[in-house]
């Protein structure tokens, strides 16, 4: 059963510290007054590539054999995972191939290429791009880098949680967005290994609650995912992630895309921070009273990234 200790996370941090930023934990007077909690924001939009997604690949690639590094890596993504893999591979001198759907936004294609990856456009949805990635694994011997269901990635993402408990040892609760579950798996183990009594709460879109549905069923479920929020859009959570969440996450709440997008605007207006949809989900849960904690609880909110799809945001604000 996959479990990491506090010592494990310290070792991971040593491996990747040279290449990441220890992002700030910002006080939020606005959220604190609104909720009655002492709220601080883990501002991972200031991380390299604009999100936490570089942490895991850096850890994974630092552990790869020289032979595997020479063969290269491949992933399928049109978002933060693509950019995290691309930059981490560049740092380690590894060839990286990223498979994207043909209708991926030009800005994301350009950003991924800018970090040094080769981009292969295939199909019109992620699943088709992912099949192309698997084909490259078979034909070229590339190492496949899963976006969330990977022990080494989970360990890397968990260094975010390590930073939270180091900066705020008395934190009572940490609120984390959930897509496939890689981030909350790592963060929950890091936080609980520091303080088992601290609560870890996940937030999903109710238009695609893959993890919440699975936890309630007691087994992994594949759902009809309707959310349009990139970082939360997963039909089936990871197997490793599901096991970790069962053991280390105290609660999962969900709310609609519309409320999460409204929270994006609220954060920009009130906190003067630019966040993407997935990052706004924990704040949306706070604003709508879904977080059940005692008054004056010390609450850390993970703002997981700031790579906003501006075209999508314009269409939402104009409608």
Give me the active site residues, please. 53, 304
> Do residues 19 and 159 lie in contact, with contact meaning Cβ atoms separated by under 8 Å?
no
* Cα 219 versus chain centre, distance: 22
Report helix, strand or coil for 110: helix
Q: Angle formed by the axes of helices 55-62 and 80-91, to 10°?
A: 40
> Do residues 159 and 20 lie in contact, with contact meaning Cβ atoms separated by under 8 Å?
yes
Strands 25-27 and 38-43: antiparallel
> Do residues 249 and 204 lie in contact, with contact meaning Cβ atoms separated by under 8 Å?
no
How far apart, in whole angstroms, are the C-alpha atoms of residue 125 and residue 286?
A: 32
CA distances from 298 to 38, 59, 174, 190, 304 (A): 5, 30, 9, 17, 19
* Element holding 119 (H helix, E strand): strand 118-121
How far apart, in whole angstroms, are the C-alpha atoms of residue 121 and residue 25?
A: 37
How far apart, in whole angstroms, are the C-alpha atoms of residue 238 and residue 148?
A: 7
How far apart, in whole angstroms, are the C-alpha atoms of residue 267 and residue 31?
A: 9
Closest CA to 82 of 318, 262, 307: 307
What lies within 8 Å, CB to CB, of 214 at 6+ separation is 220, 221, 237, 242
How far apart, in whole angstroms, are the C-alpha atoms of residue 196 and residue 189?
A: 9
How far apart, in whole angstroms, are the C-alpha atoms of residue 130 and residue 137?
A: 11
């Amino acid at each position: 059963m996959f479990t990491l200790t506090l010592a494990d996370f310290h070792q991971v941090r040593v491996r990747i510290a040279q290449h990441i930023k220890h992002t700030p934990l910002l006080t939020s007077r606005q959220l604190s007054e609104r909720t009655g909690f002492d709220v601080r924001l883990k501002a991972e939009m200031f991380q390299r590539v604009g999100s936490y997604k570089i942490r895991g690949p850096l850890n994974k690639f630092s552990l790869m054999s020289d032979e595997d590094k020479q063969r290269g890596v491949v992933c399928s993504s049109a978002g933060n995972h693509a950019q995290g893999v691309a930059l981490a591979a560049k740092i380690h001198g590894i060839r990286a191939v990223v498979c994207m759907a043909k209708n991926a936004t030009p800005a994301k294609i350009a950003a991924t290429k800018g970090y040094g990856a080769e981009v292969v456009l295939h199909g019109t949805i992620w699943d088709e791009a992912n099949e192309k990635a698997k084909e490259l694994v078979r034909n070229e011997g590339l190492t496949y880098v899963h976006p969330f269901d990977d022990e080494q990635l989970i360990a890397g993402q968990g260094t975010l949680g390590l930073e939270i408990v180091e900066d705020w040892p008395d934190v009572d609760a940490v609120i984390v967005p959930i897509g496939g579950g890689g981030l909350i798996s790592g963060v929950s183990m890091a936080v609980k290994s520091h303080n088992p009594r601290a609560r870890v709460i996940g937030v999903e879109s109710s238009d695609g609650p893959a993890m919440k549905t699975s936890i309630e069923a007691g087994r992994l479920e594949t759902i009809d995912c309707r959310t349009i929020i990139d970082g939360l859009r997963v039909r089936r959570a990871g197997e490793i992630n599901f096991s970790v969440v069962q053991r280390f996450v105290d609660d999962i709440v969900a709310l609609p895309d519309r409320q999460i997008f409204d929270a994006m605007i609220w954060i920009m207006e009130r906190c003067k921070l630019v966040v993407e949809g997935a990052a706004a989900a924990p704040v949306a849960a706070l604003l709508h009273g879904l977080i059940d904690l005692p008054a004056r609880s010390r609450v850390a909110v993970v703002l997981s990234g700031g790579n906003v799809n501006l075209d999508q945001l314009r269409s939402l604000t104009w409608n």
